[in-house]
Amino acid sequence: MGTAAEPTQHAAVAELPPLELALLQRYWDAANYLTVAQIYLQENALLAEPLRVEHIKPRLLGHWGTSPGLSMIYLHLNRLIRRTSAEVIFLAGPGHGGPAVVANTYLEGTYSEIYPLVSQDQAGLRRLIRQFSTPGGIPSHVGPATPGSIHEGGELGYSLMHATGAVMDNPDLIAACVIGDGEAETGPLEGSWKAPAFLNPERDGAVLPILHLNGYKISGATVLGRRTDDDVCALLRAHGWEPVVVSGTEPALVHAALAAALETAYAEIRRIQLTARRHGAHGPARWPAIVFRTPKGWTGPRIVDGNQVEGTFRAHQVPLAGVRDNPAHLAQLEAWLRSYHPEELFDVDGRLQPELAALAPSGEARMGATPSSRGGRSTLPLPLRPLENYEVPIGSPGATLVETTHPLGELLRDLYIDTAADPRFRLFCPDETNSNRLGAVFEVTDRLMMEPGQDVGDRISQDGRVVEVLSEHLCQGWLEGYILTGRHGLFATYEAFAMVSASMTVQHAKWLQHARELPWRKPVPSLNILLTSTCWRNDHNGFSHQGPGLIDTVLSLSGSVIRVYLPPDSNCLLAAAEHALLSQNYVNLLVVDKQAHPQYLTLEQARAHAAAGASIWKWAGNDDGGRNPDVVLACAGDVPTEEILAAAWLLQIYVPELRVRVVNVMDALVLPPGDVHPHGLSDEAFEALFTTDVDVVVAWHGYARAFHQLLHGRPDPGRFHVRGYTEQGTTTTPFDMVVQNKMSRYHLALAALERLQKPFAGAEKLAGHCNGMLDRHSTYIREHLEDMPEISSWLWSPPNLWQATSCSYHLEAADIFERRMILNSPPAGNPS
Amino acid sequence: MGTAAEPTQHAAVAELPPLELALLQRYWDAANYLTVAQIYLQENALLAEPLRVEHIKPRLLGHWGTSPGLSMIYLHLNRLIRRTSAEVIFLAGPGHGGPAVVANTYLEGTYSEIYPLVSQDQAGLRRLIRQFSTPGGIPSHVGPATPGSIHEGGELGYSLMHATGAVMDNPDLIAACVIGDGEAETGPLEGSWKAPAFLNPERDGAVLPILHLNGYKISGATVLGRRTDDDVCALLRAHGWEPVVVSGTEPALVHAALAAALETAYAEIRRIQLTARRHGAHGPARWPAIVFRTPKGWTGPRIVDGNQVEGTFRAHQVPLAGVRDNPAHLAQLEAWLRSYHPEELFDVDGRLQPELAALAPSGEARMGATPSSRGGRSTLPLPLRPLENYEVPIGSPGATLVETTHPLGELLRDLYIDTAADPRFRLFCPDETNSNRLGAVFEVTDRLMMEPGQDVGDRISQDGRVVEVLSEHLCQGWLEGYILTGRHGLFATYEAFAMVSASMTVQHAKWLQHARELPWRKPVPSLNILLTSTCWRNDHNGFSHQGPGLIDTVLSLSGSVIRVYLPPDSNCLLAAAEHALLSQNYVNLLVVDKQAHPQYLTLEQARAHAAAGASIWKWAGNDDGGRNPDVVLACAGDVPTEEILAAAWLLQIYVPELRVRVVNVMDALVLPPGDVHPHGLSDEAFEALFTTDVDVVVAWHGYARAFHQLLHGRPDPGRFHVRGYTEQGTTTTPFDMVVQNKMSRYHLALAALERLQKPFAGAEKLAGHCNGMLDRHSTYIREHLEDMPEISSWLWSPPNLWQATSCSYHLEAADIFERRMILNSPPAGNPS
């Protein structure tokens, strides 16, 4: 780059033919008129009669301030599309400007096509104004119901990342992204400016950022709004963009400047793409950007009650308040509305004048109707190879150690191969792909980075499609933009730091929940989040790296759109991942550790287990099914499964008369009743697993509270004794973590013993053994700095091969430890 | 500013006297040696004998890559402190460099003072190396146990905001903040560069950012690491900093350049401050910053197994793996360790050579011992005036409407007045102070903004101490830095978007949980988070603005550090806020809406209620206390309280024989048993409120699941029927929201009727009334765009003044509606 010293470019004020300028101005008037009408009016939509109190809505809600600027930009993008046939989607970062975007999609005709009752006539206009911010109507924000939108703009910060994700592998698309100077203050948005380092003009479309500076947020000034054009341009230039400034308060001049700026930007985008596609890309492109500085509440009331309004914070929401009680305000509102001359914009039937209607593009070229904004290519299936290709062979269950995520990496690798001709899958990860043992993808693709650098074997290139950036926000936001335009992906991240973008997950789930109710929106591929490096195996990173809270956050959301899987092993992970990658309209949370763990189920068994969501693992217990067990041991998650199995193993060796049942839960949402979540087991199925009255000792991956709440509505939930993660703080050997959280095999076995309804031979001996091991543990690990060999070498083997002696156990069969086998050790030099 | 065109400044390579250079190099060798020793060794700390396998830890954990750079910076800050007596705190953004910071605080002596067993001798050295990343030892990260730290650097993104908060109102402090190029990719960190717009050199200290570019994260390249010095400097300059580059691979040259850069930066900081303090500040200062570009894993193995390691991702963690099994690696490790010549650094007793020890500052000037890093001035009490100053007068309960947060704004205003002479309180808010009805603070202070602008009555100045920036991350992060250095504050934000910084809340709570166990750390003022604009009153913003999830996130954390209050009215909010503002070492979550709501309790009653956490509101029920009620109606939160009261009112009017008890819960953490949270009520107290067996209908502010889990361990929790927020999606009148969530007075009354154990006269009539109102509701609001007058005009009045007729009720007393009074309407032009 090195061009930060360039002078600020102001857009050339090209001549616009007077007739075109007049038409553009009138179209803008129409958009502004409808915006104000939506905020204020419930009747008399076109001011056919003098404005009276009863025409005013009883509650005035909505945001005027950003709206005229949004409409100006929308209008000129329309002009560009008509002149170039470009495919453009529009992202309104200031989602508060909902009425402006609704007005523009109404004027271009898409709104009425989707919502026939909001027709392009008097009756439709009445509906248009009455529905805004009223009960049963539409919210004041851009949202799923807004034609053309893939971005709500309620929680600020994500507009530019959504735009960037939308154009990845979308070579012809231009994402015009309006960023308010309020949103520009957020961290996630500031982080998004680095997009040029991750957009390859050979294969990706273009983002056109339009930084809309109007100086104020709700009531305070904005940092960028107060900076000079030079400073703002220097910032964008330093991030790799080539900005041009369009500013002014005189509409005619701004029309001309914005038209010129968009034409120039478009030409530059196509030049960059053409050059790259002919000659290859060489480093990041200097994509054009526009700095658009116009007054807040432009064309609205200048002075109200003696206070300056236009151009200040007072224009943010409803500039004239109390209109029903204040005749002066009512008169001022009428004058404001009439300043747009609605009678010249719409005919007596309420239809936009034809010479204005002709200014909008037609068909799918309209920004309210672009296919990319309605689900894009999402009907194109993802070519997953049969899972048998990746199956971990299972001799006897629990006897082999495999890095559980490793086979999934191979599946993703083949997905890259099989979508190479029509790229529509990407893996996003904050620099942990190798650490998460998904590194097989680097056999066929690289990490993406447009910035040039020396090759030191780091698998980095501008052709890579693994997107690693140390920002959970960017990883998730880019993926959201990618899937909302119909492509597929996976966000793999450390469990503890998944909370960084938890609010984005909440907002995306809300978006899906609404969007799936809209038949005109195609379903979109699910947001797949893989959490690895979980709280149970942060051996040295310690307390700050332990946090299973995203499970709780996701469980709060609507059952219609969320899924939570805790696969106990690789084959189960494959089954869950297949389902997730092929699903639509969900947030799929997959929680599994990356380290070497025991493997239990064959692929066939895993598929059946995944379909059921929870199963009795008969081989792990001695409950014959014909009668009730004495105790049920339940588990969910990989480490909890291992500990429950070891507890079941101890119980069977020491207390052979005890009937133990082991239940593994891999789909957390089978637990609540069916009216809470569609996966909820029927009463019969639930009771077949957990009985109606037997005590259940549960080893659960997350916070115990999350499991308890899932059981609400099930018979006698008080009999479930849940051990989960608690905030302890520890630096540990792997096993020390489960000891400190009282979820070790010894604690679980003791908990099971406590729950027995009658005395059993061997129970006391087992309790002594467990307490003895727990006593020895702390001293041993401090001396030896690793776990006791009884722990670190233990693997499942049939309990009937063993016999208990006094506080110990002896193997009767051959040395089963020899069967231990670890596959997939981590690549050298790629530490976790 | 406008100086983006300046050429990149490289630090002058001043001459360092050869003797001093040699000493500095040896000190750095000592720090690097101890870093490597911590990662690898469990015995033979100073290599007194040849390195053997049994000297190596069984598990090799830790991060080498960033460590030598951190130590180089620490060393030269030591030099600067000795030369200038500056008060400097050190923030290690790359918290992974824990062993380096531990090594430096050990070398300077603070570590041994705090942890006498880790003494400055052979025995202490053995402990030092063995404790690192081992059971019962210390984690691999900088953390609360690290002397001098106020920042962990585990979850990346917050170093620069913590540094910025630390220097606010701390005029003499310099916060030296090392930012890794990995962290620099995060959104929160990128957002933090705007600090100069919020630091006033007249009264604030200085942040000295040191952007440490070593090119790689775990395994991928960094964006800034790959950019040129010109580009990186242009970016910092565009944000308002004045950067200088220190780069190199040759230690001697880098020593000289860094020494010079720090001296120049220090002189410039003092010049800026002196000028501002003599002549006033005029716009943002151009604070110095350092770009420090050195190899990752500097001085470590260059090549391992044929692969380049130094300067690449392979140096990130443990450059030589499998040392116990690989004799070549063992030999290479020994050569690496001996390259630092430990025998020349420490004497035979394991003590640092005196000429090296003399390089560190002494006493509280050491960065491991600065008072600011240990709680600062936190023992200085906050001068709260008596709450009586702000009391909302209560005639009869529920008969007056007040914007609940308004009196709190007056309390905060007076706090600003009373701390003006010794500023130690700030309010942080994403531009919602007025919207949140806390605007009284603007009677005495302004919004802070160093960027100049025109005064349009926006209460913005460089002298303001209300910090508004549209970034929840910055608001919370700056406040965290402020309180961790011993000052006080409040973060007020919209409930829905509080999840944006939820992960920061989790990390801060973890920090507090550990820090409070360390006697050498003074307690720090609590992190106070006020959530307003709650899910129940987002009348037009709609679904995206509804999210009570932060309650769930906070409830997961350790009971020792978290508190959750849901004050039902203003006086209760005052009582809770007083407690929160005077408390230490907590995360206090206060959830209350900003709109006009009924007020119930006098200040005296509110104080008693706050102290109890939950009380029976006798005036609202007709349960005489002498016998069990027929039903208990419980509520928590302002809107839920109003709805439960209205339900109780209807039940008493229609079903006069029914014994109704109303319980208000304002401290959510009285609900769980005492072993879960210290506020948990005793069994007796819990049963005195909720009985042991009577059904309880609960109106709860948040997700119902959160309330259910709080009850785990209480008698028969299945009898609690909780209505809370559910993900519905709505644009609403205020009441429509509670109808859609089935938490309206009518739903609650119907729920109570369903739970009755015997028939009651009037029950059927009330059910008819409720169902009728619910039937009418949807149609009415769609026609009138506002709530039915029966709803919007309803206020509590004693039920015995009323009588029920067929599906309606008549007032027997004077027109109670006339008593309605709304105080504190919002300021004009400051919309919500």
Q: pLDDT, tens digit, for every residue of A519-530?
A: 999 999 999 999
Q: Which of A277-281, A529-533, A809-813 has the lowest mean pLDDT?
A: A809-813
Element (H, E) at A257: helix A251-279
Q: For residue A423, give both structure tokens.
A: 């790229």
Amino acid at A812: E
- Is 0.85 exceeded by the ipTM? yes
Q: Read off the pLDDT band of B1 (50, 70, 90).
A: very low
- Taking contacts as CB-CB distances below 8 angstroms, the residues of chain A near B781 are 134-136
Contact state of A139 with B542 under an 8 Å Cβ cutoff: yes
For the segment B35-39, the average pLDDT, to the nearest whole number, is 98
Q: Is the pLDDT of residue B818 over 50?
A: no
Nearest chain A CA: its distance from B231 CA (Å): 6
Return the pLDDT at B831: 37
Across A486-592, the runs of DSSP E, i.e. the strands, are 488-494, 527-532, 562-565, 587-591
What are the pLDDT digits (tens) for B615-668?
Answer: 999 999 998 765 689 999 999 999 999 999 999 999 999 999 999 999 999 999
Distance CA(B647)–CA(B753), nearest Å, equals: 10
Give the residue from A1, A9, A96, A134 with the most B CB atoms within 10 Å of its CB, the best one to mutate. A134
If you search the block for the tokens 């040896």, which residue do you land on? B26
Q: Is the pLDDT of residue B325 over 90?
A: yes
Q: Is the pLDDT of residue A732 over 50?
A: yes
Q: Read off the pLDDT band of A211 (50, 70, 90).
A: very high
Average pLDDT over all residues of chain A: 93
- Taking contacts as CB-CB distances below 8 angstroms, the residues of chain B near A452 are 226
Return the pLDDT at B813: 44
| Residue closest to A219 by CA, chosen among B168, B311, B829, B295 | B829
Residues, chain B:
832
Return the pLDDT at A787: 92
Contact B142, B101 (CB under 8 A): yes
- As beta bridge partners, residue A468 has A429
- Taking contacts as CB-CB distances below 8 angstroms, the residues of chain A near B503 are 497, 499-500, 502, 547
Percent of chain B with pLDDT over 70: 95
Q: Is the pLDDT of residue B671 over 50?
A: yes
Return the pLDDT at A626: 58
For the segment A189-214, the average pLDDT, to the nearest whole number, is 98
Return the pLDDT at A541: 76
Nearest CA in chain A to B229: A2
User: Which of B217, B221, B500 is opposite residue A453, by nearest beta carbon?
Assistant: B221
What are the pLDDT digits (tens) for A628-646?
Answer: 899 999 999 999 999 999 9
**Rg of chain A's alpha carbons, rounded to an integer?**
31
User: Which of A57, A186, A456 is opposite residue B191, by nearest beta carbon?
Assistant: A186
Nearest CA in chain B to A468: B220
Q: Is the pLDDT of residue A722 over 50?
A: yes
What are the pLDDT digits (tens) for A362-414?
Answer: 999 999 999 999 999 777 889 999 999 999 999 889 988 999 999 999 999 99
Contact state of B544 with A155 under an 8 Å Cβ cutoff: yes
- Taking contacts as CB-CB distances below 8 angstroms, the residues of chain B near A791 are none
Nearest CA in chain B to A783: B135
- Taking contacts as CB-CB distances below 8 angstroms, the residues of chain A near B468 are 217, 220
Nearest chain B CA: its distance from A311 CA (Å): 9
Q: Which of A219-223, A694-698, B135-139 has the lowest mean pLDDT?
A: B135-139
If you search the block for the tokens 């208000």, which residue do you land on? B664
Q: How far is CA A705 from each of CA A723, A726, A746, A830, rounded to the nearest angstrom?
A: 10, 10, 22, 36
Amino acid at A64: W
Contact state of A458 with B786 under an 8 Å Cβ cutoff: no
- Taking contacts as CB-CB distances below 8 angstroms, the residues of chain B near A549 are 502, 506, 553, 556
Return the pLDDT at A793: 86
Q: Is the pLDDT of residue B381 over 90?
A: no
Nearest chain B CA: its distance from A503 CA (Å): 5
Nearest CA in chain A to B734: A135
- Taking contacts as CB-CB distances below 8 angstroms, the residues of chain B near A446 are none
- As beta bridge partners, residue B246 has B292
Distance CA(A766)–CA(A762), nearest Å, equals: 6
CA B477 to chain centre: 6
Return the pLDDT at B807: 63
For the segment B65-91, the average pLDDT, to the nearest whole number, is 98
Distance CA(B245)–CA(B11), nearest Å, equals: 6
Q: What is the signed CA dihedral for B353, B359, B363, B364, rounded to 10 degrees? A: -140
| Residue closest to B450 by CA, chosen among B472, B437, B465 | B465
Return the pLDDT at B816: 45
Nearest CA in chain A to B517: A729
Query: Other CB atoms closer than 10 Å to residue A576's CB: what's the count?
Result: 26
Q: Which of A463-467, A598-602, B535-539 has the lowest mean pLDDT?
A: B535-539
Q: Is the pLDDT of residue B729 over 90?
A: no
Nearest CA in chain A to B235: A238
What are the pLDDT digits (tens) for B176-195?
Answer: 999 999 999 999 999 999 99
Return the pLDDT at A806: 62
For the segment A531-546, the average pLDDT, to the nearest whole number, is 86
Distance CA(A2)–CA(A52), nearest Å, equals: 60
Q: For residue B579, give both structure tokens.
A: 């407690």
For the segment A786-804, the average pLDDT, to the nearest whole number, is 87
Nearest CA in chain B to A451: B226
- Work out the angle at residue A565's Cα, subtended by the Cα atoms of residues A562 and A570, and round it to the nearest 5 degrees: 150
Contact A441, A466 (CB under 8 A): yes
Q: Is the pLDDT of residue B4 over 90?
A: no
For the segment A467-487, the average pLDDT, to the nearest whole number, is 98
Q: Read off the pLDDT band of B136 (50, 70, 90).
A: confident
User: Which of B219, B547, B555 is opposite residue A506, by nearest beta carbon?
Assistant: B547
Nearest chain B CA: its distance from A274 CA (Å): 25
A303-304 and A307-308 strand pairing:
antiparallel
Q: Which of A20-34, A587-601, B459-473, B781-795 has the lowest mean pLDDT?
A: B781-795
Q: Is the pLDDT of residue A274 over 80?
A: yes
pTM for the predicted model, two decimal places:
0.96
Q: For residue B167, give both structure tokens.
A: 């220097």
Return the pLDDT at A813: 44
Q: Read off the pLDDT band of A14 (50, 70, 90).
A: low
Across A416-574, the runs of DSSP E, i.e. the strands, are 425-429, 447-448, 460-461, 466-468, 488-494, 527-532, 562-565
Return the pLDDT at A378: 75
Return the pLDDT at A404: 96
Distance CA(B120)–CA(B61), nearest Å, equals: 24
Query: Other CB atoms closer than 10 Å to residue A687's CB: what's the count?
Result: 14
Q: Is the pLDDT of residue A187 over 90?
A: yes
- Taking contacts as CB-CB distances below 8 angstroms, the residues of chain A near B94 are none
Across B510-656, the runs of DSSP E, i.e. the strands, are 527-532, 562-565, 587-591, 596-599, 614-616, 631-636
Q: Read off the pLDDT band of A815 (50, 70, 90).
A: very low
What are the pLDDT digits (tens) for B331-367?
Answer: 999 999 999 999 999 999 999 999 999 999 999 999 9
Q: Read off the pLDDT band of A811 (50, 70, 90).
A: low
Percent of chain A with pLDDT over 90: 85
Contact state of A497 with B510 under an 8 Å Cβ cutoff: no
Return the pLDDT at A831: 37
Return the pLDDT at A684: 95
Nearest chain A CA: its distance from B307 CA (Å): 8
Contact A112, A118 (CB under 8 A): yes
For the segment B137-154, the average pLDDT, to the nearest whole number, is 94
Q: Is the pLDDT of residue A63 over 50?
A: yes
Q: For residue B724, give both structure tokens.
A: 């809370």
What are the pLDDT digits (tens) for A293-326?
Answer: 999 999 999 999 999 999 999 999 999 999 999 9
Contact B689, B670 (CB under 8 A): no
Strand-by-strand arrangement of the B596-599 sheet: B596-599, B400-403, B822-823
What are the pLDDT digits (tens) for A122-177?
Answer: 999 999 999 999 988 998 999 999 999 999 989 999 999 999 999 999 999 999 99
Q: What is the signed CA dihedral for B215, B221, B224, B227, rounded to 10 degrees? A: 90
User: Which of A319, A708, A732 is opposite residue B135, by nearest beta carbon?
Assistant: A732
If you search the block for the tokens 């203003």, which residue do you land on? B570
Nearest chain B CA: its distance from A626 CA (Å): 30
| Residue closest to A43 by CA, chosen among A53, A30, A33 | A53
For the segment A704-716, the average pLDDT, to the nearest whole number, is 89
Q: How far is CA B652 from each of CA A346, B791, B809, rounded to the nearest angstrom?
A: 57, 18, 11
- As beta bridge partners, residue B762 has none
Contact state of A227 with B544 under an 8 Å Cβ cutoff: no
- Taking contacts as CB-CB distances below 8 angstroms, the residues of chain B near A228 are 1-2
If you search the block for the tokens 């007032």, which residue do you land on? B811
- Work out the angle at residue B36's Cα, subtended by the Cα atoms of residues B31 and B40, and round it to the nearest 5 degrees: 150
Q: Is the pLDDT of residue B517 over 90?
A: yes
User: Which of B133, B307, B712 is opposite residue A457, by nearest beta carbon?
Assistant: B307
Contact state of A540 with B785 under an 8 Å Cβ cutoff: no
SS3 assignment, position B89: strand
Return the pLDDT at B107: 98
Distance CA(A657)–CA(B95), nearest Å, equals: 52
Contact state of A431 with B140 under an 8 Å Cβ cutoff: no
SS3 assignment, position B667: strand
Distance CA(A495)–CA(A638), nearest Å, equals: 14
Q: How many CB pairs under 8 A join A and B?
A: 455
Q: Is the pLDDT of residue A543 over 60?
A: yes
Distance CA(B264)–CA(B241), nearest Å, equals: 14
What are the pLDDT digits (tens) for B407-426?
Answer: 999 999 999 999 999 999 99
